[in-house]
C-alpha cells in the first residue's frame, strides 16, 4: 500500500485514525501495530512474516544483551544480532547479485534465485541494528514489551520509505505520548505538503524519463532535461515521503527527526550530505565510520574509512554496480574536498560553489538512475555530446514546452524561498491572520488536486522498490 493511493488516503488511514483516537492510551500501540501489519500485508503478504521474525530476533537479542551486560555473552548477542540482520538483508537483497557476478567471474552457471526484494527491508533492518547496538552501548534502555518493540520496527508511517527512525528518538514516546489538535493539524499539513510534492511534482517529472526511454530521436538537450528532471524528481519523491512520514508520526504523537534540509542550496558535497537523507548519513556515520576511527586516524586510514562507508552506502541503495560506483564517486569527492578542493572554493565567489555542487550531484544521479554501468556511461556521454546525436530537434523542443514550467517550479520549491516568505508573513499580525484563513484553503486545494491525479490514474512510480 502506498501513501499516494486512494485506498490509503480514503479507506485505510481514516479507519486507523478513528480507532486510534477512540481507543484508550494503553491500547494505542497495539492499534498501531495491527494497522502497520495490515499496511505491510497488503503489499507484501508473505514477507510480513519476515518482518515479524526480524522484529522477534531484534527483541530477543536486546533482552540477551541487557541480561548479560558487561560480559562476553552480551558481545556475542550483539554480534549475533548483526549477523542475523545483515544476513537476512544480504540474502534477500544481494543473493542474485553475488551469484551473477560469480558466474561472470568464473564462467560458471549457478542458477539465480530470483528472490523478490521485500519492501522496506533496508529501512527496518537498520532500525533493528541501531536498537541492539545502542542497547549494548548503554545509550538505550532495553524494551521489555514486544508489542512496543514491534510497533517501533513496523510503524507504518516510516516503514517502506524511511526516514530511518532510531529507537532512542522515540523510546519515551512508545510508552507515553500525547495527542492534540495542534499535532493533528500540523501533522496533516506536513503530510499533505509531502503528498503534493510526491504526486504533483515528482510524478510529473518522472514522466520525462519515460518519454526519454521511449524516444528514438534523442538529443543532447534531451539528455540534460532528463538528468535535471530526475535530480529534482528524486528529491521531491524522497523528501515528499519523509514529509508524509513525519506528518503521520506527528498525528500519532511521535516526533521523527528531519530527513532533508534543502540539500540543493549546499555549497559543497560535504554540506550536501549533511542535508540529504540525513537519517541514512548519520546512521553510517555513527555505526560504521566513527567506530572505525572516523577522522581521528592517519590520512591513509581516514581515506579507507571514507571509501568503505561510501561503498556500503552505495550498496545499501541497490544490488547493482552502478550503485556501488555512485557511492565510491561521492566518497572520492568528499576525500578530495577535505584534502584541497575546499581550500580552492573558499577563494572563489559563493555562486560558483553552488554550480560546482549541482553539477557534481547531477552527474552522480545520472549514475544512480541508470540500470547498469554501461547505460550510465552512455547517458554521461550524451550530456556532453559524446554520442552521434543532434544538439536539439523538434521533439525535444516539444518536451521542453511541456515540462519546462514544472522544472522551474521544482527548482524554486527545492529552495527555502517559500518557507522564508511564510515565516516573514507570520511575523506580522495581518500576515498571520491571512495565513490562518488561506492556509487551510490551500491545503484543501492541494488534497483535492492530488485526489484528482490519483483518480485519473496518473503516473505514480514507487522508487523504493529498488531499495
Residue in 142, 162, 154, 127 with CA at minimum distance from that of residue 64: 142
Backbone angles phi, psi at 324, to 5 degrees: -65, -45
Using CA atoms, how far apart are residues 229 and 133, in angstroms rounded to an integer?
A: 39
Count the alpha carbons within 13 Å of 62 in the hemisphere toward its beta carbon: 26
And the C-alpha cell for 75?
A: 558481545
Residue 293, φ and ψ in degrees, nearest 5: 120, -15
Q: How far apart are CA 399 and CA 212, in angstroms?
A: 10
Cell numbers given for 129: 541494528
* C-alpha cell of residue 216: 528514438
Instruction: Answer whether 277's CB lies under 8 Å from 298's CB.
Output: no
Is the CA virtual torsion 92, 97, 99, 100 positive or negative?
positive
The answer to whether 335 and 306 are in contact (CB under 8 A) is yes
Distance CA 267, CA 252 (A): 36
Residues across the chain: 467
Half-sphere exposure of 239 (CA within 13 A, CB side): 23
Q: Catalytic: which of 114, 277, 317, 353?
A: 317
State yes or no: is 317 an active-site residue.
Answer: yes
The whole-angstrom separation of Cα 396 and Cα 347 is: 38
| Per-residue DSSP letter, 461 | -
**Catalytic residue numbers, as ranges:** 317
Amino acid at each position: 500500500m502506498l501513501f499516494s493511493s486512494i485506498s490509503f488516503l480514503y479507506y485505510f488511514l481514516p479507519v486507523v485514525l478513528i480507532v486510534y483516537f477512540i481507543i484508550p492510551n494503553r491500547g494505542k500501540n497495539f492499534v498501531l501495530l495491527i494497522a502497520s501489519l495490515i499496511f505491510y500485508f497488503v503489499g507484501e503478504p508473505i514477507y510480513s512474516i519476515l518482518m515479524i521474525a526480524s522484529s522477534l530476533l531484534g527483541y530477543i537479542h536486546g533482552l540477551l544483551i541487557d541480561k548479560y551486560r558487561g560480559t562476553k555473552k552480551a558481545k556475542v548477542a550483539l554480534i549475533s544480532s548483526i549477523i542475523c540482520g545483515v544476513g537476512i538483508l544480504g540474502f534477500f537483497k544481494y543473493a542474485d547479485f553475488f551469484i551473477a557476478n560469480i558466474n561472470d567471474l568464473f564462467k560458471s552457471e549457478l542458477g539465480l534465485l530470483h528472490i523478490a526484494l521485500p519492501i522496506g527491508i533496508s529501512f527496518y533492518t537498520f532500525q533493528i541494528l541501531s536498537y541492539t547496538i545502542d542497547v549494548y552501548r548503554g545509550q538505550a534502555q532495553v524494551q521489555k514489551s514486544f508489542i512496543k518493540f514491534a510497533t517501533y520496527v513496523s510503524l507504518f508511517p516510516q516503514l517502506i520509505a524511511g526516514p530511518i527512525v532510531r529507537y532512542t528518538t522515540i523510546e519515551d514516546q512508545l510508552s507515553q505520548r500525547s495527542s492534540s489538535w495542534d499535532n493533528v493539524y500540523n501533522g496533516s499539513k506536513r503530510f499533505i505538503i509531502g503528498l503534493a510534492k510526491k504526486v504533483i511534482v515528482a510524478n510529473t517529472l518522472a514522466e520525462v524519463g519515460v518519454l526519454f526511454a521511449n524516444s528514438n530521436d534523442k538529443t543532447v538537450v534531451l539528455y540534460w532535461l532528463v538528468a535535471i528532471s530526475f535530480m529534482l524528481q528524486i528529491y521531491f519523491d524522497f523528501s515528499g515521503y519523509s514529509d508524509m512520514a513525519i506528518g503521520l508520526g506527528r498525528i500519532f504523537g511521535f516526533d521523527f527527526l528531519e530527513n532533508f534540509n534543502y540539500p540543493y542550496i549546499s555549497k559543497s558535497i560535504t554540506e550536501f550530505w549533511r542535508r540529504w537523507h540525513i537519517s541514512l548519513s548519520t546512521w553510517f556515520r555513527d555505526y560504521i565510520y566513527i567506530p572505525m576511527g572516523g577522522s581521528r586516524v592517519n590520512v591513509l586510514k581516514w581515506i579507507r574509512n571514507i571509501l568503505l562507508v561510501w561503498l556500503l552506502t552505495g550498496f545499501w541503495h541497490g544490488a547493482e554496480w552502478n550503485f556501488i560506483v555512485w557511492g565510491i564517486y561521492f566518497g572520492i569527492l568528499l576525500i578530495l574536498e577535505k584534502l584541497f578542493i575546499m581550500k580552492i572554493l573558499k577563494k572563489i565567489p559563493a555562486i560558483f560553489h553552488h554550480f560546482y555542487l549541482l553539477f557534481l550531484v547531477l552527474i552522480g544521479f545520472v549514475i544512480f538512475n541508470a540500470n547498469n554501468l554501461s547505460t550510465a556511461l552512455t547517458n554521461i556521454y550524451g550530456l556532453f555530446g559524446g554520442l552521434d546525436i543532434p544538439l536539439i530537434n523538434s521533439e525535444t523542443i516539444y518536451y521542453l514546452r511541456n515540462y519546462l514550467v514544472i522544472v522551474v517550479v521544482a527548482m524554486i520549491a527545492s529552495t527555502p524561498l517559500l518557507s522564508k516568505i511564510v515565516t516573514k508573513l507570520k511575523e506580522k499580525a495581518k500576515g498571520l491572520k491571512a495565513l490562518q484563513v488561506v492556509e487551510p484553503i490551500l491545503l484543501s486545494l492541494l488534497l483535492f488536486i492530488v485526489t484528482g491525479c490519483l483518480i485519473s490514474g496518473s503516473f505514480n512510480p514507487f522508487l523504493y522498490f529498488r531499495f
